[in-house]
Amino acid sequence: MKLGDTFIEDTFAEAFRMVYARLLITAHDKHWLEAALRELTGYSSSVIGCDAETGIEKMLDVTATPDGRLGASVLVFGFSEKAIGKALVNRVGQCVMTCPTTAVFDGLPAAETRTGLGKNIRFFGDGFQRSKLLEGRRYWRIPVMDGEFLVEDRVGIEKGVAGGNVIIQSVDMPTGLAAVRRAVEAVSGCGGIIAPFPGGVARSGSKVGSRYSGLPASTADAYCPTLRGRVETKLYEGVNCVYEIVLDGIDESAVANGMKILLHAAAGEGIVAITAGNYGGKLGKFHFHLRELV
């Protein structure tokens, strides 16, 4: 099967269950909102080495936020409720509370499973913090040097799907970069998904395990152009550059829709083939077959 000039391999992406939270971050203006978002979503590409996988779900105008200011919806993914709860407290406390003018609201108010956020961060107020109950939702007002940091007491946690992916094989780096940029831009803001790697793209795709003991993952040598001839390659003829885009989503349909958008946006001249990473169906229960998505 082809999309234009691009061959779509008959394979599937293998994804797995994770849990996620949705934070609504607001600030005085675009400058300070973006500053908070950069910090909050930093160092969060993969739970292989990070405490969470995070990303901006979509930007919000003043009509879509609880306090009528500019904002953004951020998704935070983790393997367990305990792990994500710890990551949320650390990231909001260090990256958002420190940023001028920000406030944090729960984006999953109907979720039955909840974890403490403001209830833990409030102790920074050293006894001067105050709580406020509005329409059944508790908030904390923590005194800071530009006024008060408003943060919701508890936030919801829901089950999500992580690890949907496409692997884009191109004739050269400029062509590959152009393809992944238009693909990531196509899914940006569509809601329900994030692409947690830098700019939404991973250059260092990985395989499970390593020849070095204790290392859980190592370079995907089958997709490395410089190793062609030294390993069993998965590169198509004429391919000299490979990039991977990984998606995490709020449910199976969100990931499937995101992958479909990626496939159509990335395909084109100079993109020899698009494939996906899987582990024979042994790692995750969610299988996204590329040709079915097309």
Q: Cβ–Cβ contacts within 10 Å for residue 244, how many?
A: 21
- pLDDT value of residue 283: 80
**Tokens 């009528």 label which residue?**
68
Summarize the confidence of residues 60-89 as an average pLDDT. 97
- pLDDT value of residue 189: 85
pLDDT-based confidence at 249, cuts 50/70/90? very high
pLDDT-based confidence at 280, cuts 50/70/90? confident
Cα dihedral 31, 33, 39, 45 sign = negative
Does the fold of domain 19-158 match that of domain 2-15+161-293?
yes
Q: Considering the entire predicted model, what is its pTM?
A: 0.95
In this model, does residue 82 exceed pLDDT 90? Answer: yes
**Of 136 and 177, more confident:** 177
Q: For residue 287, give the H/E element and its range.
A: strand 286-289
What number does CATH give the domain 19-158?
Answer: 3.30.70.520
Summarize the confidence of residues 141-155 as an average pLDDT. 98
Helix crossing, 173-187 with 252-266: angle to 10°? 140
pLDDT-based confidence at 282, cuts 50/70/90? confident
pLDDT-based confidence at 210, cuts 50/70/90? very high
- pLDDT value of residue 126: 98
Express as a percent the part of the chain with pLDDT over 70.
100
Nearest to 39 by CA among 101, 116, 93, 86: 93
Summarize the confidence of residues 211-229 as an average pLDDT. 94
Domain boundaries, the chain: 2-15+161-293, 19-158
What number does CATH give the domain 2-15+161-293?
Answer: 3.30.70.520
- pLDDT value of residue 281: 83
Q: Cβ–Cβ contacts within 10 Å for residue 143, how many?
A: 13
Pair 32, 93: CB distance under 8 Å: no
Rounded to an integer, what distance in angstroms lies between the CA atom of residue 96 and that of residue 103?
8
